[in-house]
Amino acid sequence: MKLDELSRLLIDRDPDDWPASLAGLKMDDPGLAGRDAEARALLAHPAGAASRQEKKSMNKSILLSLAALVLVAVGVGIYLSRGGQSDVPAGVIQIVFGRASLALQQESRELTASQLPPAGLPFAEGSILKTGPASAAQLIFRGGIVSRIGENTQVTLTRSLVQEAGSELTEIGLEGQFSYRSGPLKGSFAVRTPTAVASVRGTEFNLSSSPALTILVVHDGQVDLEAVASANKARVMAGQRATVDAAGNILVGPVQAVDTIERAQFQRDDDVFRKYGTGPLNTELELDSEEAIKKHYGRLYTVRLLDGREYTGYPSFHGAVLQIHTTYGVIEMDRTAVLSLDELK
């Protein structure tokens, strides 16, 4: 059985059954026979286990992410069996759209989708992942943490530690666009930008940073935010956004329509994300029905503008420009013109 077949097999199964299913599988790679202990350990880790009620509320996107965690474990096993580092990596780079680069210990390599191994590329402490223009990547961290980064973004894994009690301690540095999703964590996950530090316990949020400003948008759970310059602190709850400037000022307010667009952008289904990433839409592609748009991009939305106009299609942003792929083609506008965004089921 191939790794992608394993992922598909586990998507529709109860996560409690995954360790037993994994143990009973015969994999094509002979090196995997002695390496599935890491997979079982990751799947059994309390940080990655959700309650029965939480599992019922998971959508297929979360299940896809958890299935990808199996690939992380198997990929780590392959990496170690081939003479990798002695410490288990914090996770793997699973998807690359466009162009990216990975640097570790003064060595750098270019990354494209065709160059990634089937189980992903290990992402170890000290690694620096960069994406170029109109590019993106997905990383899966230990404990079932799914993160995606947008174009012109740099992520540095500054610290990764499994403590004696089994809790995870992960810290990353960020400049650019970052999306995070996880269940409850046993341990901590922190994101440091030039102006702020965001501390996470298990939630969903988007983070955008530059040398002068950090923007945090929390869609589920809560995030503790601390300004670097002033040590000011704020707890940002679901449905709120916060900005932190270079002077250390923190401003908290409600989520805006553009934040909902960004969330939809980063929540694309994996197959769609692999092909289209988070860059601009395919302006050359003609889709003659709303069903065709939904099939192509995975989702369909109604976009309402401040001037009263309304469009049905798939929204995407590229910098300050909002693009909507409709049956009439791709329409472009300033993304601040959006009043609301609603997904059509």
pLDDT at 41 over 70: no
Rounded (10°) CA dihedral 315, 273, 109, 153: 30
pLDDT digits (tens, 9 = 90+) for 132-144: 987 889 998 887 8
pLDDT digits (tens, 9 = 90+) for 184-239: 887 889 999 999 999 997 899 999 999 999 999 999 999 999 999 999 999 999 99
Among the listed residues 207, 269, 237, 266, the one whose alpha carbon sits nearest the alpha carbon of residue 62: 269
Are 206 and 200 in contact by the 8 Å Cβ rule? The answer is no
pLDDT at 7 over 80: no
312 pLDDT band, cuts 50/70/90, is: very high
97 pLDDT band, cuts 50/70/90, is: confident
Greater pLDDT, 251 or 67: 251
The span from the CA of 65 to the CA of 62, in Å, is 5
% of the chain at pLDDT higher than 70: 69
pLDDT digits (tens, 9 = 90+) for 151-185: 899 999 999 887 666 677 899 999 999 999 988 88
pLDDT confidence of residue 142: 81
Q: Please, what is the average pLDDT of the chain?
A: 76
% of the chain at pLDDT higher than 90: 35
The residues, any chain, with a CB within 8 Å of residue 299's CB and separated by 6 or more, are 264, 268, 314, 343
